[in-house]
Amino acid sequence: MPIHSFSRRDFMQASAALTAMAALSPVLPAFAASGLLTRKIPATGEDLPVIGLGTSRTFDISVASEEMNSALEVLKTLLAGGARLIDTAPSYGESQAVTGELLTRANAHKQAFLATKVSATGREAGMRQIEQTFKQLQTERIDLIQVHNLQDTSTQLQTLRELKQQGRIRYVGLTHYVESAHDDLLAALQKDKVDFVQVNYSVGARNAEKRLLPWCADHGVAVLANRTFEAGRLFAKVKGKPLPDWASSELDASSWAQLMLKFVLANRAITTVIPATSNPRYAADNLLAGQGRLPDADLRERIVQLFA
């Protein structure tokens, strides 16, 4: 899919979204000017912004509901701030259909980098699910489809490779979300060459650092980090604690969320983080983690101690 080139109409839409962002927080205009960090997808050298969006639970809403308004603001805020990647899945209830509908309402299919998954057993079931996914996402091309939680990996990867050859998808990948599956995930990566892996990694769940992330860095596999807030639970660990002064003076971080995301992004194997939210203010907050300084080893250790 070509990188989006901005028309006047796109510019007006982006300007409107930036105005909305400015109302959300006075720091965001400075952010918009300085831009979001990007990392390269090793398979192609394509640049991908480091902040993305997850959709599990948060976008599992009715397309007819009023909640669509704030979900649309989340999407517009992220896109206006330079983010592109949205991760969804056919098993996330309404999330995949909601993602497709929001992209249509925002006229943003071209700008977005769409990542979804296949979770089926058997070739026919996988192909049926993928066709339904194209319909729900309201698109003829999907950037990335990942085998969800290593379900029937070799069968589904074969289908995904065929779709890639046909030009209907651009990248293939594998996912998991628990540390007990990391060895299996690494074995699958070593067996079959893929473009992306998606794995859980956070300041509170660091197993991926040991073998998986170094292997991906050495072998040219892009990494999406999921559960960077452990589904929100990490916030409870710092509830009531003030953010240390060094967060802003040494890391340009103004919230706990930014500190957690910067911890993850400091690992150079990570391509993009995909925190989920239904709240436009949180989306703006998360965007700010994608600019400014990232922690070195010493600062990473200090962040770990805050969550110990």
Ligand X SMILES: NC(=O)c1ccc[n+]([C@@H]2O[C@H](COP(=O)([O-])OP(=O)(O)OC[C@H]3O[C@@H](n4cnc5c(N)ncnc54)[C@H](OP(=O)(O)O)[C@@H]3O)[C@@H](O)[C@H]2O)c1
Structure tokens at 178: 């628990």
Minimum CB separation of residue 213 from ligand X in Å reads 16
Single out the residue of 36, 51, 186, 257 in contact with ligand X (rule: CB under 6 A). Answer: 257
| Cβ proximity to ligand X, 13 vs 99, nearer residue | 99
Q: Is 277 in the site for ligand X (CB under 6 A)?
A: yes
User: Between β-strands 169-175 and 142-147, what pairing exists: parallel, antiparallel or unpaired?
Assistant: parallel
Which residues between 96 and 155 bind ligand X (CB under 6 A)?
Answer: 148-149
| Cβ proximity to ligand X, 13 vs 50, nearer residue | 50
Minimum CB separation of residue 24 from ligand X in Å reads 12
Q: Is 17 in the site for ligand X (CB under 6 A)?
A: no
Structure tokens at 125: 């079931």
Minimum CB separation of residue 53 from ligand X in Å reads 8
Which residues between 234 and 253 bind ligand X (CB under 6 A)?
Answer: 235
The length of the chain, given as a count of residues: 308
| Cβ proximity to ligand X, 13 vs 172, nearer residue | 172
- Residue 287 amino acid letter: L
Part of the chain binding ligand X (CB under 6 A), chosen from 63-71, 188-196, 242-250, 272-280: 272-280
Q: Is 229 in the site for ligand X (CB under 6 A)?
A: yes
Residue least distant from ligand X (Cβ): 54
Single out the residue of 221, 274, 288, 303 in contact with ligand X (rule: CB under 6 A). Answer: 274
Minimum CB separation of residue 138 from ligand X in Å reads 18
β-pair partners for 82? none
Instruction: For residues 207 and 4, give the distance between their C-alpha atoms in angstroms, rounded to a whole number.
Output: 36
Q: Over 174-208, what HEC string results?
A: EECCCHHHHHHHHHHHHHCCCCEEEEECECCECHH
Single out the residue of 36, 51, 54, 116 in contact with ligand X (rule: CB under 6 A). Answer: 54
Single out the residue of 38, 138, 207, 279 in contact with ligand X (rule: CB under 6 A). Answer: 279
Q: Is 76 in the site for ligand X (CB under 6 A)?
A: no
| Cβ proximity to ligand X, 13 vs 261, nearer residue | 261
Minimum CB separation of residue 296 from ligand X in Å reads 23
Interface residues with ligand X (CB under 6 A)? Answer: 54-56, 58, 87, 148-149, 175-177, 198, 226-232, 235, 257, 274-279, 282, 285-286
